[in-house]
Every structure is written in structure tokens, then in C-alpha cells.
């Protein structure tokens, strides 16, 4: 980092540990839930993924920002992380699609960044102790100066640590819903741009469908409602690339609102926070289940569908975040590499009658997918629409189209 950009900064964890480094992006103080993600690429998608709302994200890969800022790769209209931590960021990115640098993006959107710390050491702390609240202090703003001084006084530091520990993520879904729909594009544009970079639909056998007519044939004429709990834009793209007509509705929508749109299928999106906090949505999903409309849930949508069906969820010690998470498809025994971003999971032993585990995480055996027998629905904890990330499980969108056509 150039000397003109250097500014004093640190991360203070709720347990009292302090990681000193250098600030970039905006200045000031921010408190959030400290988590880590293992992606080597996809930092733009991470920053703009609404599921990271309320969290300070640490990238385990040491160099971030080398291909710059590419707005077409955003998963929503803005950054949702509370703060951003990297070992080193690239000041002068190089890529033919590059439209700016990471430091300028964070500064423009008032996101505080921290670099130059031992991110490996921080990750080990979070793995051993579990997800922990933290505060980034950066620069020489009055608030930052006050917090730096507080760290030097034992009594004031104790007060600061209590303030950090008391932080909670609340009303997360309602704060991020609708942020992806503002960058929506038509199906033709989506497929054309996807084909240009070989990001076309992938079948279960791993082959790609490069022909737009063939890819969209089975989904043509079918309408899907995307219930947006903090949706990543690529969920909508994957649906469009298969010919489905997609109508996005906000998290505040009721079952009646959705039914009035006369959908052939319902997509429950990803999103942030504790799934149990969304009691209204869970009650509305129960009503939709009774209508026997095909449902596909991803991440938070997977958890909400499980809760509506009578299952239970729990918070994981440090969650699963990154594009290298192995999941086993129990029907075939095949292991797929998946992208994930979640801190909660459905309890395996809580599934009600008529619900079966379809995928498990091969690292810790937690629930990664559920198939429902009493109504036409299935869900997965991971992200089959991953971008950037492995395309191994994108065939699940084809399975959704098949489910719709069968009903």
C-alpha cells in the first residue's frame, strides 16, 4: 500500500484480542459479526451478497482485488458486509473487464476495510472459538480516535468489549430484500452474456448447453415467483437461462400475494440472519405448502421451508463460507464441491415425516439438502447458482423445471 493511503486501523474481538493493521476504504468504526470465507476468487460477489448483512468478513486468501471492480459481477446493487478484512489488497488491478479498484469502491459505499493483519491467525481464532463479534477501528475520525484511546485504558476497554459483545443482527431480511431486483436484466441479455463467458446451464452429467433455444425449451411458458429474502441476482439468472418467466416479490409479501400471481413454481431465496426470526414468512410458507405448488429453496429459503414443515434449526460454531465445501448426494453417493455462505443449519434429527435428507456436508455431516414427499418441493443449503464458484450442482435448477412440468 502506498504511504499516502496508510492509516492506523485494527480489529477488536469481543474476547479482547486486537489485530493491528492498516485501514483502507472508509474511515471510522463499525461493529459486526466476524466471520471468514475461503474463496480465492469471487470477492465482488461476496461483498454484494445480501446474506453477509451484519457481518465483518475476513478473506482467507491473501491477495484480494487483483481483477478490480466489475459491476456486472455484483449480486445486488450495493455492498452488504459491515466491514471487510484482507491480508493484502491490490491497488492497481488488471483485467479487461475492470472498471475500478477495491479501495475506491469501499470508500464510495462507506465500507471500512482492514488489511495487513495475519488473516490466518484470525481464522484460527474464529474456528476454535466460533463466530465472534468484532469492531474495526480505522483512521483519525473523532470516533476512531476515541476508540483507540479506550483500548489503552483497562476500564474503558472493558466497556468497549461489552459494547462489541452486545451487537446482534436483527430484522436482517427486511433490510436487504429487493436489493438484487434493481439490477435485473431480460432473459435474452442474461443468456447472451452468460454464453460469452461459458457460464451457460450445466446438466447433471457435466455437459454445458450453449444453445439458447435448447436451454430454454422445457421452461418456456412457466412462471416462477422468486420470493426475495436477500436474493443473489444469479438465482434469477439461472431461472431465466432455463426459459422460466421470473417475477420477484419482496420478503413482506403474503401467500395470498404470491398466489394471486398464479405461479407454476416458487423459488425461496437465500438471505441473512437467524431463520427463526422470520415468523411471518414461515407462517406464509405453511399456507403455500398446502397448495401443492412446486417449491425450490436455497440457503435461508431451505431453512425457512424446513421450519415451516416442522423441522428445527441451530446456529453452527463458525458456519460454512466459501466455494470449496464438499457435499454428498445421498441418492447416488456422489460428492460435489459447492459454494456456501451460512451460519445456521437444519437439524438432521428434526426432519418431520415425509422429509428426507438428500445432501449432507462431508466435513461435519450437517444437513445440506431435503426432499419432501408430501408436497412437491426440495431445498439445498448450498448455492447451486454459485458465481464465482463451482458449477457442479447447477443441474438442480433443471430438476426444478422438471418438478414444475410434472405438476
DSSP string, 17-70: -EEEEEEEEB-EEEEEEEEEE--SS-HHHHHT-GGGTTEEEEESSSEE-TT---
- The active-site residue, picked from 58, 299, 367, 387, is 299
Beta-strand (E) ranges in 286-396?
295-298, 313-329, 335-346, 355-361, 367-372, 377-380
**Catalytic residue at 299?**
yes
Could you give the CA distance from residue 53 to residue 81 in angstroms, rounded to a whole number? Answer: 5
**Catalytic residue at 29?**
no
Could you give the CA distance from residue 152 to residue 135 in angstroms, rounded to a whole number? Answer: 16
Predicted local confidence at residue 202, as pLDDT: 83
Other Cβ atoms less than 10 A from the Cβ of 78: the count is 15
Predicted local confidence at residue 4, as pLDDT: 45
Predicted local confidence at residue 1, as pLDDT: 57
Predicted local confidence at residue 203, as pLDDT: 84
- The active-site residue, picked from 33, 284, 368, 385, is 385
Predicted local confidence at residue 281, as pLDDT: 98
- The active-site residue, picked from 58, 238, 383, 387, is 383
- 8 A C-beta contact, residue 307 and residue 336: no
Dihedral over Cα of 123, 129, 133, 134: its sign:
negative
CA angle 51, 282, 311 (to 5 degrees): 90
Split the chain (407 residues) into runs of 10 and give each run's mean pLDDT.
74 98 97 95 95 97 96 94 97 95 97 98 96 97 97 97 96 92 81 80 86 92 97 94 95 97 98 97 98 98 98 96 95 96 97 97 97 98 88 94 95
**Catalytic residue at 385?**
yes
Amino acid at each position: 500500500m502506498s504511504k499516502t493511503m496508510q492509516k492506523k486501523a485494527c480489529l477488536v474481538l469481543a474476547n479482547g484480542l486486537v489485530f493491528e493493521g492498516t485501514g483502507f476504504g472508509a474511515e471510522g468504526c463499525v461493529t459486526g459479526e466476524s466471520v471468514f470465507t475461503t474463496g480465492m476468487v469471487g470477492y465482488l460477489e461476496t461483498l454484494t451478497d445480501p446474506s453477509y448483512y451484519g457481518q465483518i468478513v475476513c478473506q482467507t486468501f491473501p491477495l484480494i482485488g487483483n481483477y478490480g471492480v466489475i459491476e456486472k459481477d455484483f449480486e445486488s446493487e450495493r455492498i452488504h458486509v459491515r466491514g471487510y478484512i484482507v491480508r493484502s489488497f491490490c491497488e492497481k488491478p488488471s483485467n479487461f473487464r475492470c472498471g475500478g479498484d477495491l479501495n475506491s469502491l469501499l470508500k464510495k459505499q462507506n465500507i471500512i476495510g482492514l488489511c495487513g493483519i495475519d488473516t490466518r491467525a484470525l481464522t484460527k481464532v474464529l474456528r476454535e472459538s466460533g463466530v465472534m463479534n468484532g469492531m474495526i477501528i480505522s483512521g483519525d475520525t473523532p470516533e476512531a480516535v476515541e476508540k483507540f484511546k479506550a483500548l489503552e485504558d483497562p476500564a474503558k476497554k472493558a466497556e468497549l468489549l461489552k459494547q462489541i459483545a452486545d451487537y446482534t443482527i436483527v430484522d436482517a431480511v427486511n433490510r436487504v430484500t429487493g436489493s438484487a431486483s434493481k439490477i435485473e436484466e431480460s432473459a435474452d441479455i442474461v443468456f447472451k452474456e452468460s454464453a460469452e463467458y461459458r457460464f451457460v446451464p450445466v446438466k447433471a452429467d457435466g455437459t454445458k448447453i450453449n444453445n439458447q433455444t435448447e436451454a430454454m425449451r422445457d421452461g418456456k411458458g412457466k412462471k416462477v415467483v422468486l420470493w426475495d429474502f436477500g436474493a443473489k441476482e444469479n438465482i434469477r439468472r439461472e431461472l431465466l437461462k432455463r426459459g422460466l418467466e421470473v417475477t420477484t416479490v419482496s420478503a413482506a409479501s403474503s401467500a395470498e400475494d404470491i398466489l394471486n400471481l398464479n405461479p407454476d413454481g416458487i423459488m425461496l431465496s437465500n438471505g441473512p440472519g437467524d431463520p427463526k426470526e422470520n415468523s411471518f414468512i414461515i407462517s406464509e410458507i405453511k399456507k403455500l405448502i398446502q397448495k401443492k405448488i412446486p417449491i425450490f429453496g436455497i440457503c435461508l429459503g431451505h431453512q425457512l421451508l424446513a421450519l415451516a414443515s416442522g423441522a428445527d434449526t441451530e446456529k453452527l460454531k463458525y458456519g460454512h463460507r466459501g466455494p470449496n465445501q464438499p457435499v454428498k448426494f445421498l441418492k447416488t453417493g456422489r460428492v460435489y464441491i459447492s459454494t456456501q455462505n451460512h451460519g445456521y443449519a437444519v437439524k438432521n434429527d428434526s426432519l418431520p415425516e415425509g422429509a428426507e435428507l438428500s445432501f449432507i456436508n462431508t466435513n461435519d455431516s450437517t444437513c445440506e439438502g431435503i426432499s419432501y414427499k408430501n408436497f412437491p418441493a426440495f431445498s439445498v443449503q448450498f448455492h447451486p447458482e454459485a458465481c464465482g464458484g463451482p458449477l457442479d450442482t447447477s443441474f438442480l435448477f433443471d430438476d426444478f423445471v422438471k418438478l414444475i412440468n410434472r405438476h
